[in-house]
C-alpha cells in the first residue's frame, strides 16, 4: 500500500473530524463545586451539524464545545445517547453559526464493516486537543474482528486494531485506505501495547437513526441473563450439556418470562443457529425488528428439549 493512498484517505476525512471539549460540574467532600474538563473526538455525519462520538465523551456534561476542522468553534447539545454501544450524537448549536461566515459541515463517508479483514490497513484519526494544523493520525492493521469485550453495560463485539488510539481520540473514526469510516474508536487497553478497540460502523448504522430522531435506541429483548456453559460448570451442577448458554436469571414480565423460560434452562439454538456463548444471543437479537418479529429458541431443561417461540417486544 502506497503512502499516497494513506495521505488521500486522511485528506478525505480530515475536514469531518472534530474535537469535543466538555465541562462537567463536580462536588468535593465539603460540597464545593468545581469544573472538570474532558476531551474527545467526533465525526460529522450530515450537513445539519450532527456529530457522532462516544457516549463516555459527553456523559453527564454541562457544556460542550466543538472545534471543527477549519478551527472554528461552536457550542453543541446532546441529541441522543446509547450506553450499550458507548455511542452518542451531538448537534452544533445553530445560534452560533455566523451568517457572514457560515459553518459548512462536511459529512464523512460511512463504509461497510462486514467487508473488513484481519491484516487490513486502517487509520485512526482524531483531534484530541483541538490543535490547529489538522487531525492526529496513526496507522495500523485490523488485528481481530468480532472481539467480545466486557463493558459495564454488557458485551460488545468490537474491531481490534494496533493503530495507536491516543487519549482524546475516543469518538474519532477508524478509516480504510479509501477514506471510508469502518469503525468508531472507543477504547484502549492501558496495560497492553498496540491493543485498541472500535465499534464496527455497521453497528453504528443500525442505531444512528434512532439516536438522531428519538434520542435513544429501542431494542428487542428476551429478558434473560446467561453465562457460557463449559464442562466445569456442567459437571458441578450436573447439567445434561457442556456447551450452550445457561440461563441464570429471568426478568419478571419479560418475553422470556411470558414464554415460560426458567433459571437453569440451557439455550442450544436460536432460529436454527447453534449457540456456544451468550454474545451470540445478544448479537442475533440486536438484528431483529422490534414489532411483530419472532424468534424460536431450542431449550434443554434437565435433559428434555423444548422449542420455545418468542414475540419480540420493545426495550429502551
Per-residue pLDDT reduced to its tens digit, 305-316: 999 998 877 775
The answer for residues whose C-beta is within 8 angstroms of residue 69's C-beta and 6 or more apart is 14, 15, 16, 17, 18, 106, 127, 134, 135
Task: Using a pLDDT cut of 90, give the percent of the chain over it.
Answer: 42
For the ranges 76-85, 116-125, 141-150, 265-274, the lowest mean pLDDT is seen at 141-150
Q: Does the 1-216 domain belong in CATH 3.40.50.720?
A: no
Between CA 43 and CA 89 the distance in angstroms is: 10
pLDDT class for 101, splitting at 50, 70, 90?
A: low
- Would you call 271 a catalytic residue per the annotation? no
So where are the chain's domains? 1-216, 219-315
If you average pLDDT over every residue of the chain, what do you get? 84
Closest by alpha carbon to 176, among 292, 12, 29? 12
- Asked if residue 16 lies in contact with residue 107, where contact means CB atoms within 8 angstroms, the answer is yes
Q: Which residues contact 105 (CB under 8 A, 6 or more apart)?
A: 44, 46, 47, 48, 49, 92
Residue 80 pLDDT greater than 90, yes or no: yes
Q: Report the greatest alpha carbon distance in the chain.
A: 74
pLDDT confidence of 148, banded at 50, 70, 90? Answer: confident
Is 170 considered catalytic here? yes
**pLDDT average, residue stretch 131-155:** 78
- pLDDT (0 to 100) of residue 237: 86
State the catalytic residue, choosing from 22, 50, 86, 265. Answer: 86
CA–CA separation, 65 and 76 (whole Å): 6
- The answer to whether residue 79 scores a pLDDT higher than 90 is yes
* Position 34 confidence tier, pLDDT thresholds 50, 70, 90: very low
Q: What is the mean pLDDT of residues 33-47?
A: 75
Query: Which is catalytic among the residues 41, 170, 277, 279?
Result: 170
Query: Using one digit for the tens of pLDDT, what is the confidence trace for 179-231?
Result: 999 999 987 665 556 688 999 999 999 899 999 999 998 888 888 999 999 99
Predicted confidence (pLDDT) at residue 35 exceeds the cutoff of 50: no
Q: Mean pLDDT over residues 51-67, rounded?
A: 87
Residues 6+ apart with CB under 8 A from 159: 113, 116, 142, 144, 145, 147, 174, 182, 183, 197, 198, 199, 200
User: Percentage helix, strand, coil, to 5, in the chain?
Assistant: 20, 45, 40
Cell triple for 202 = 455497521
Does 86 participate in catalysis according to the annotation? Answer: yes
- Does residue 24 register a pLDDT over 60? no
The pLDDT value recorded for residue 173 is: 95
Give residue 176's pLDDT. 95
CA atoms of 64 and 49, how far apart (whole Å): 14
Q: What is the DSSP letter of 29?
A: T
Class of domain 219-315: mainly beta
Q: pLDDT higher for 53 or 68?
A: 53
Cβ contacts of 286 within 8 Å, gap of 6 or more: 206, 219, 220
CA atoms of 65 and 61, how far apart (whole Å): 11
Pairing of β 50-54 and β 33-44: antiparallel
Tell me, rounded to whole angstroms, the distance of Cα 151 from its chain centroid. 11
How far, in Å, CA of 240 to CA of 259, rounded?
Answer: 22
For position 242, what pLDDT does the model report?
Answer: 87
Closest CA to 124 of 105, 137, 111, 135: 137
Q: What is the pLDDT of residue 90?
A: 94
Q: Which of 56, 82, 162, 277 is catalytic?
A: 56
Q: Give the containing element (helix H, strand E) for 259.
A: helix 255-259
**Three-class secondary structure of residue 60 per DSSP:** coil
Q: What is the pLDDT of residue 239?
A: 87
Percent of the chain residues topping a pLDDT of 70:
83
Residue 249 is predicted with a pLDDT of: 93
Highest mean pLDDT out of 13-27, 131-145, 180-194, 241-255:
241-255
Cell of 227: 453465562
Measured CA to CA, the distance from residue 60 to residue 147 in angstroms comes to: 28
Amino acid at each position: 500500500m502506497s503512502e499516497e493512498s494513506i495521505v488521500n484517505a486522511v485528506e478525505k476525512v480530515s475536514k469531518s473530524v472534530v474535537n469535543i471539549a466538555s465541562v462537567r460540574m463536580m462536588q468535593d467532600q465539603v460540597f464545593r463545586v468545581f469544573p472538570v474538563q474532558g476531551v474527545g473526538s467526533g465525526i460529522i455525519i450530515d450537513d445539519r451539524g450532527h456529530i457522532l462520538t462516544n457516549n463516555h465523551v459527553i456523559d453527564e456534561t454541562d457544556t460542550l464545545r466543538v472545534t471543527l476542522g477549519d478551527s472554528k468553534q461552536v457550542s453543541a447539545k446532546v441529541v441522543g445517547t446509547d450506553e450499550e454501544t458507548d455511542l452518542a450524537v451531538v448537534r452544533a448549536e445553530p445560534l452560533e453559526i455566523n451568517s457572514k461566515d457560515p459553518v459548512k459541515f462536511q459529512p464523512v463517508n460511512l463504509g461497510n464493516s462486514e467487508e473488513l479483514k484481519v491484516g487490513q490497513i486502517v487509520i485512526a484519526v482524531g483531534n484530541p486537543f483541538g490543535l490547529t494544523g489538522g487531525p492526529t493520525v496513526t496507522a495500523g492493521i485490523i488485528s481481530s474482528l468480532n472481539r467480545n469485550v466486557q463493558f459495564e453495560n454488557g458485551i460488545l463485539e468490537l474491531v481490534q486494531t494496533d493503530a495507536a488510539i491516543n487519549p482524546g481520540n475516543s469518538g474519532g473514526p477508524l478509516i480504510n485506505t479509501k477514506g471510508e469510516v469502518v469503525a468508531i474508536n472507543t477504547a484502549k487497553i492501558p496495560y497492553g501495547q498496540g491493543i485498541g478497540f472500535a465499534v464496527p460502523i455497521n453497528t453504528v448504522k443500525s442505531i444512528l437513526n434512532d439516536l438522531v430522531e428519538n434520542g435513544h435506541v429501542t431494542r428487542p429483548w428476551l429478558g434473560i441473563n446467561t453465562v457460557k456453559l463449559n464442562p466445569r460448570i456442567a459437571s458441578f451442577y450436573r447439567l445434561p450439556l457442556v456447551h450452550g448458554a445457561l440461563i441464570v436469571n429471568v426478568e419478571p414480565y419479560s418475553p422470556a418470562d411470558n414464554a415460560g423460560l426458567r433459571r437453569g434452562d440451557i439455550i442450544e439454538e436460536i432460529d436454527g443457529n447453534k449457540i456456544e456463548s451468550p454474545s451470540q444471543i445478544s448479537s442475533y437479537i440486536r438484528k431483529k425488528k422490534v414489532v411483530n418479529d419472532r424468534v424460536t429458541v431450542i431449550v434443554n431443561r434437565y435433559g428434555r428439549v423444548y422449542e420455545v417461540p418468542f414475540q419480540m417486544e420493545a426495550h429502551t
